[in-house]
Structure formats: C-alpha cells, structure tokens
Amino acid sequence: MWLHDPQTFPELESLDFTMPQRSRLYRPVPMGAEAGQIEGQLSYLVRLARAHSVNPRRLVRTVFASDNLAIRQLKYAGFFSRGAGTINGLGKYAELFQEETGQLTGACFLRHMSLLPLKELLPPNGAGLLAPKPRWCPCCVGEMVESGDDVYRPLAWSFDLYRVCVRHGMQLQDTCGHCGRHQPFIPRYPDLGRCDHCGGMLANSEQQKSSSRLDLWASKAITNIVQHLPALDGIATVSRFVAFLKAAVARFSDGNRAEFCERIGMPPWALKGWLSDGERPTLPQLLSVCYGLGIMPSKLFLEPEDILPSMRDSLRPVPEKLFGRAERPMLSVRARRKLAKDLDAIINNPEDVRSLPVVVKSLGFTQFCLKYWFPVAYASIQDKHESARKLRMAIRAQSERDAVVSVVRLMRERGEYPSRRKVNTELLKQKMSLIRPELMQIYRQAIAGIQE
Ligand SMILES: [Zn+2]
Ligand SMILES: [Zn+2]
C-alpha cells in the first residue's frame, strides 16, 4: 500500500541534486595506467571513434567539423595521413583537438595526453620533437591484444627520439610487417592493433632487440617527461631552463661557458643562443644537456636546487647523434620570425595552392631549411597543393566523362549509331581519345545505357 501519492517523493525533493551535464559523445577512460605510458590524444581520438563504432576520419569530418570551422578546413586526406601527427604535439592542432574533444566528451584530462604542458619551453615549430610517421612496439601491441582491451598508443611513442620500447627493449616499428606500409595518423578503421592498409596485426614476431644504449637512455628520458607532464605544466619554461643552465655553468666551469660547452661536447653557439639570444632548446638539445649532466629531464625543472650540488664532477660528452648539430640550418631569430609570418599568410590563404619548390623559391630559402624550422607549415603547404591538384583532376575527369556521354547522346538524337570510330573522331576534336582505358569504359557504359 502506498503511504504517499505515488507521483511525489518528498524525501527526494528535499535533496539538492543536480544532474551532471550531458556530453554529445561517450567519454572513454584513457588507457595507460603504468608510469609514463599514458595514451596520446591521437590514440584517444581513434578509440573514441571505436567506442561509437565509426570510422575515425568520419567522426572528425562530420561530428568534430560540424561546429568547429577550423577543423572543417582540415578535412583533406593528407591531414589524416600526415598532418594530424601534431595533434599529440604542442602546436595549434594539439590545442584545437584538445578543445573540441573536450567539448564533445566533457573530458578535462586531455592536456596531459599531448605535449601542450611543454609549450613554454620548446620551440613552437616542434623541431626535432615528433616522429614523422606513427610508430609502435610490436610486443606492447601483442600484449594489449592478448589482454582483450583496446589497443592504444602511449604518448611517448610519438616522440622522434623514442626509438626503443622501455618495457621490452625492442626497436619501435613504423611499417606493417605484412605489407610493409606506413600507417596514417588517423586511420579509416578504428583499431590501432591492425594495419590500416592490409588489416594484418601490427604485433608480429620479427622484432629486433635494440643494442643502442643511447636510444634506450633517450626513451627513458622521454618516459620520464611524459610521466611528469602534469607536474611540469607551468613549471617547464624556457626561463627556468636558462636559470638552471647558468647555475650549472657556474658549478662546473666557474661561469666559463666555452669550457662548459667543451666538456659536455656541445658546439659553443648552443649556449649563446639559449643564454643571450632568447632561443628555445629543441627536445634533442634539452636531452643532450640532461645526458651530459647525467640527470633525468623532470629533475631539471622540479628539483633544480637539490640536484646541482649533489652531482658528480665529471660531465660526459654528448654523442653528436643525439644533438644533431650538423642537421641544423642556420637562421637568425629575426629571419625566422619573418619567415613564420610569411608562411602563416601562405597557409591561411586558400587561394594560394603553389607547390613547395615554388613557395620555397619565392621566399628565398631551401626546402631543407623550411622543413627543419617549420615542419608543420612544410606539411601544410604540401598537403594544400596536393588537395588542389586532386580537386583539379577530379573536375577534369568529370568534364571528360560528360563530354563522352554527350557525344554518344547527340549521335543517338541525330539517329546515328555511335560507333567507336565515329565517337573517337568527335572526341579527337576535343583532344581526347578512346585509346585511354578510362574513356573507353565510359563509352561502353554509355552504349550499354542506350541499349537497355
Ligand atoms: Zn614494448
Ligand atoms: Zn599491412
């Protein structure tokens, strides 16, 4: 028997209860609980598509682009296969996707699944930071598949210098073991355990154990950065880096910069750039300093006062491979600022679809220089040109198709049989010929259409 009117529950009405805000998409829990193994923002995007059983590119094209103008402009194929790599980085794509994924899912943890916390430390162009193609450890992928959970890619795998898995000591791979092809950053099929081209598993048995101690050290240092990203956010700044370097130079070489550089095996211009010219260190350079001093990168920012006095006196020279000084094309800060402005204008002008060699020539730089200092702009210009070329070709193919169909139709209307020879004669006047297989196929289809 009801004690109250069954429609009202005074006990509940007195509770101060507000429903949490609804989100448009379901919010999966990020993978990678182990220290330094947190999932990257890109991997989260693919698993988000998986949770909704849709093609990840379709999710971006329709849902993400529907209320975000900036994402709407990124819908070309080159973006999904190459440009999207910077979603895990510290530039505008990382911010764009963090914001939009957050809006759609209500997730507030995405910032630490990209390198945005290092935005005030590393150069904005991301030089030496991200791998140009997606990479994975086949052993880790194998374990994820066996566990039955979604396969994911830790953020650490996106760094260019993360070449060896810290868990298995295996070299990371960037090509499928079955078809040998690279993987796109945003695949068509929402499964990071399978090749996006042939569908084969990316966990194969032909792995190579890495013998490079330097590579393993770099991977450990990167894992250390990723593990401490939340703590480094707001702390890892270029001014703290400079303050630490000054203290280190004072501690190890009585303030003599040239001597410090020599002992650590770095070219002398590096310190001048950082200490006097306001340059930011690239990640390989930051890791070189840490390697020379024998410390993990997080300590440089989180415990600077404690580590310097307790360090041993011997510095170890940095192997040139890590520093990559030979690969650094010289460009002054002023020239770089101007170049950045010019490139921005080109990228934001949809009418400007010039090819890279033409753009580079007009700016007066080499392609190598542009790629080194502005890898994202480099890829964007390339993608924009490629998309425009494909669009032109598609328009041309359509107009040729229309021309063949219209020649056949006109002959029929005149009561003639559109024989291959007659149609070809007409087409030759428009600089086309049925000798081309694709036009021949259209001709056959047009004839079949008439006979039906
Ligand atoms: Zn592994
Ligand atoms: Zn494959």
Cβ count near 158 (within 10 Å): 27
Query: Given this model, what pLDDT does residue 301 score?
Result: 94
**Ligand 2 mean position, distance from CA 178 (Å):** 5
Q: Is the pLDDT of residue 112 over 70?
A: yes
Q: Is the pLDDT of residue 141 over 90?
A: yes
The pTM (predicted TM-score) of the whole model is 0.71
| Confidence grade of residue 325 (pLDDT, cut at 50, 70, 90) | very low
* Helix (H) or strand (E) run with residue 69 in it: helix 69-72
Cβ count near 398 (within 10 Å): 10
**Ligand 2 mean position, distance from CA 182 (Å):** 8
Q: Give the ligand at the shortest distance from the Cα of 162.
A: 1
Is residue 90 packed enough to be buried (19+ CB in 10 Å), middle (13-18) or exposed (0-12)? buried
**Ligand 1 mean position, distance from CA 136 (Å):** 8
Query: Given this model, what pLDDT does residue 5 score?
Result: 59
Q: Are 93 and 84 in contact (CB under 8 A)?
A: yes
**Ligand 1 mean position, distance from CA 287 (Å):** 22
| Confidence grade of residue 1 (pLDDT, cut at 50, 70, 90) | very low
Structure tokens at 375: 């890898």
**Ligand 1 mean position, distance from CA 335 (Å):** 42
**Ligand 1 mean position, distance from CA 138 (Å):** 7
Residue range 271-288: average pLDDT?
Answer: 84
Q: How far, in Å, are 43, 150, 205, 359 from residue 147 at the CA level?
A: 18, 9, 17, 49
**Ligand 1 mean position, distance from CA 141 (Å):** 7
**Ligand 1 mean position, distance from CA 164 (Å):** 8
Q: Give the ligand at the shortest distance from the Cα of 196.
A: 2
| Confidence grade of residue 12 (pLDDT, cut at 50, 70, 90) | low
**Ligand 2 mean position, distance from CA 29 (Å):** 28
Residue range 230-241: average pLDDT?
Answer: 94
Residue range 182-196: average pLDDT?
Answer: 94
**Ligand 2 mean position, distance from CA 145 (Å):** 17
Structure tokens at 170: 């295996």
Q: Give the ligand at the shortest distance from the Cα of 34.
A: 1
Q: Give the ligand at the shortest distance from the Cα of 174.
A: 2
**Ligand 1 mean position, distance from CA 431 (Å):** 57
CB-based burial, 437-448: b 16+ in 10 Å, e otherwise: eebeebbeebbe
Q: Are 416 and 426 in contact (CB under 8 A)?
A: no
Q: Give the ligand at the shortest distance from the Cα of 139.
A: 1
> Highest mean pLDDT range out of 42-51, 58-67, 299-308, 389-398?
42-51
**Ligand 1 mean position, distance from CA 168 (Å):** 5
Query: Given this model, what pLDDT does residue 241 score?
Result: 93
DSSP state, residue 325: G
Q: Is the pLDDT of residue 311 over 60?
A: yes
**Ligand 2 mean position, distance from CA 138 (Å):** 13
Q: Give the ligand at the shortest distance from the Cα of 173.
A: 1
Closest C-alpha to 55, from 77, 38, 40, 70: 77
**Ligand 2 mean position, distance from CA 83 (Å):** 21
Q: Are 32 and 154 in contact (CB under 8 A)?
A: yes
Residue range 57-73: average pLDDT?
Answer: 91
Domain extents for the chain? Answer: 23-217, 237-326, 334-451
Q: Which residue has the higher pLDDT, 217 or 372?
A: 217
Could you give the angle at the alpha carbon of 111 between the alpha carbons of 164 and 92, nearest 5°?
90
Q: Give the ligand at the shortest distance from the Cα of 197.
A: 2
Phi and psi at 140, nearest 5°, equal -60, -45
| Confidence grade of residue 194 (pLDDT, cut at 50, 70, 90) | very high
Q: How far, in Å, are 286, 369, 376 from residue 364 at the CA level?
A: 30, 10, 19
Structure tokens at 157: 């795998």
**Ligand 1 mean position, distance from CA 271 (Å):** 36
Distance CA 329, CA 332 (A): 10
Query: Given this model, what pLDDT does residue 35 score?
Result: 86
Residue range 200-207: average pLDDT?
Answer: 79
Phi and psi at 399, nearest 5°, equal -70, -30
Query: Given this model, what pLDDT does residue 205 score?
Result: 61
| Confidence grade of residue 259 (pLDDT, cut at 50, 70, 90) | confident
**Ligand 1 mean position, distance from CA 90 (Å):** 25
Q: Is the pLDDT of residue 27 over 90?
A: yes
3 state SS of 209: strand
Q: Give the ligand at the shortest distance from the Cα of 176.
A: 2
Residue range 83-98: average pLDDT?
Answer: 92
CATH fold of 237-326: 434 Repressor (Amino-terminal Domain) (1.10.260)
Structure tokens at 41: 């923002």
Count Cα neighbours of 73 within 13 Å in the Cβ-side half-sphere.
10
**Ligand 1 mean position, distance from CA 157 (Å):** 10
50 Cβ neighbours under 8 A, 6+ residues apart: 56, 150, 190, 191
Q: Which residue has the higher pLDDT, 403 or 206?
A: 403
Structure tokens at 296: 């993990």
| Confidence grade of residue 13 (pLDDT, cut at 50, 70, 90) | low
Q: What is the mean pLDDT of the chain?
A: 87
Q: How is 260-281 classified by DSSP, letter by letter?
A: HHHHHT--HHHHHHHHTS-PPP
**Ligand 1 mean position, distance from CA 167 (Å):** 5
